[in-house]
Structure 1
Amino acid sequence: MSTESDITPSAADRHHPLLKLALELGPLMIFFFANLRGQWLVETFPALSELGGPLFVATGLFMAATIISLIVSKIVLGHLPIMPFVSGIVVVIFGSLSIWLQNETFIKMKPTIVNALFGVALLGGLAFGKSLLGYVFNAAFQLDAEGWRKLTIRWGIFFLFLAVLNEVVWRNFSDGTWVAFKVWGTMPITIIFTLAQMPLVLKHSINLETEGEK
């Protein structure tokens, strides 16, 4: 399976924006509600008790939903978006370790690992004169070189911030609080940050059709 390697948005990306959003948020929502209703799920589907407590049941369903999401992305969009693809790999590895060893630490550290990985990759790429952010936002917008550089720095720092924030929350609060924050805290923070970047995006946006006619 290949991942998207061209920063130019594909037709499928442009035609299925809501599907892409659902595929990325769907597994997280399943994780949240499975943890919230873990006991009910075990009583309704006794086989799930083999996974362990509510958080382990939620982790197992999260892994399954993530894999299904990636399969649908490949079939419908024709490629695997980089961020969900990398995140999915970490979910499967750390989720499996959590269930196998019955140790919640692995799945709790997954957001830390993923965000730190993206932050280091983005900032490290700039050190070699390469903005990798275009591969992440390939279907959203196109910027000039300076725009990608500035946006990459901001997102790199933001990812590192999310990594630290996840460590603070899971190490100092209950499982339920961590799961809730993962869905209802991290997402709003990310949305607010994304919207805050719009002035920069608008300032450095380019029109691909216009560029192609020059």
Structure 2
Amino acid sequence: MAGKKINPIVKLGLELGPIVVFFAAYVMLRDKAFSFGGTEYDGFILVTAGFIPLILITTGLLWKLSGHVSKMQIATAVLVVVFGGLTVWLNDDRFFKMKPTMIYTLFAGVLGFGLLRGQSYLQFVMEEMMPLKREGWMILTRRLALFFAGLAVLNEVIWRTMSTDAWVNFKTFGLTIAVFAFFMTQGGVLQKYAVEEQPEDGA
């Protein structure tokens, strides 16, 4: 099924909106505590509880408007439900803080598995957006697999050794900037291995 055209601003809002809302809500509620059913929950737990339906709603809207949701977005939504649910159920913020570790470990593992088979699974997902020669896809996939593995390790270090405030800032801004910076630094590969369009006969 071909994807539908969607306003880029709307698409960006649906993809990044939940993260922005999570950060804003955390800033407002981080120093507060709430009691439900005789159990006390801090602001982080409450914000996590709200983040779960929000990510499901925005993912559903993205699918409805564009007719397509990537496997990465589906995996992210599933892990948010699982680890966010455990965080709220057990009243333990460690589970939600581990979520990025699981996400990036999963992505690195999938890409690494493809590389072991001599394939670039990244190419299957992004070939229409960035037509590259096979060598280019393999280089980009190796780099991205290592990058995701590095982010998984970094997330573990930060949430285990730093404050919740530091982790929220890292999750909201650090991870987003890191992913953006990674692709910005791959211009040499994209240029060197770009597939040149063949001129039509008789043109």
State the TM-score bracket (shorter-chain normalisation). Answer: 0.7 to 0.9
Question: Which of 178, 190, 198 pairs up with 2:179?
Answer: 190
Name the SS for the 1:52 alignment partner.
Answer: strand
1:39-188 aligned at under 5 Å gives the runs 52-137=41-126, 140-188=129-177
Shift of residue 64 of structure 1? 1.7
Give CA deviations for 1:104-125 in whole Å, capped at 9, x if unaligned: 1110000000001100110111
Contact 2:33 2:40 in 1 (8 A): no
- 2:8 counterpart of 1:25: no
TM-score (norm. length: structure 2): 0.87
Name the CA distance, whole Å, in 2 between partners of 1:125 and 1:159.
Answer: 15
CA RMSD of aligned residues (A): 2.7
Question: Which of 38, 41, 53 pairs up with 2:29?
Answer: 38
Partner of 1:12: 4
**Larger Rg, first or second structure (1 or 2):** 2
Shift of residue 34 of structure 1? 1.2
Give CA deviations for 1:14-47 in whole Å, capped at 9, x if unaligned: x54333322221111111111111169989xx98
Name the CA distance, whole Å, in 2 between partners of 1:156 and 1:202.
Answer: 20
Letter in 1 for 2:185: A
TM-score (norm. length: structure 1): 0.83
Name the CA distance, whole Å, in 2 between partners of 1:136 and 1:69.
Answer: 21
Structure having the larger proportion of residues in helix:
1
Give CA deviations for 1:157-197 in whole Å, capped at 9, x if unaligned: 00000000000110011111101111111111221111001
Name the CA distance, whole Å, in 2 between partners of 1:31 and 1:85.
Answer: 19
**Residue 169 and residue 89 in structure 1: after superposition, are their counterparts in 2 closer, same or farther (change >3 A)?**
same
Letter in 2 for 1:30: V
Partner of 1:7: none
**Residue 59 and residue 51 in structure 1: after superposition, are their counterparts in 2 closer, same or farther (change >3 A)?**
farther
Name the CA distance, whole Å, in 1 between partners of 2:128 and 2:100.
Answer: 24
**Residue 117 and residue 151 in structure 1: after superposition, are their counterparts in 2 closer, same or farther (change >3 A)?**
same
Identity percentage of aligned residues: 34
**Residue 57 and residue 136 in structure 1: after superposition, are their counterparts in 2 closer, same or farther (change >3 A)?**
farther
Name the SS for the 1:141 alignment partner.
Answer: coil
Shift of residue 55 of structure 1? 0.8
Give CA deviations for 1:142-162 in whole Å, capped at 9, x if unaligned: 212111111000000000000
* Structure 1 gaps, min length 5: 5-9
**Residue 28 and residue 149 in structure 1: after superposition, are their counterparts in 2 closer, same or farther (change >3 A)?**
same
Name the SS for the 2:4 alignment partner.
Answer: helix
Contact 1:29 1:183 in 2 (8 A): yes
Give CA deviations for 1:54-110 in whole Å, capped at 9, x if unaligned: 111111222122101110111011021121111110001110010001011110000
Contact 1:30 1:58 in 2 (8 A): no
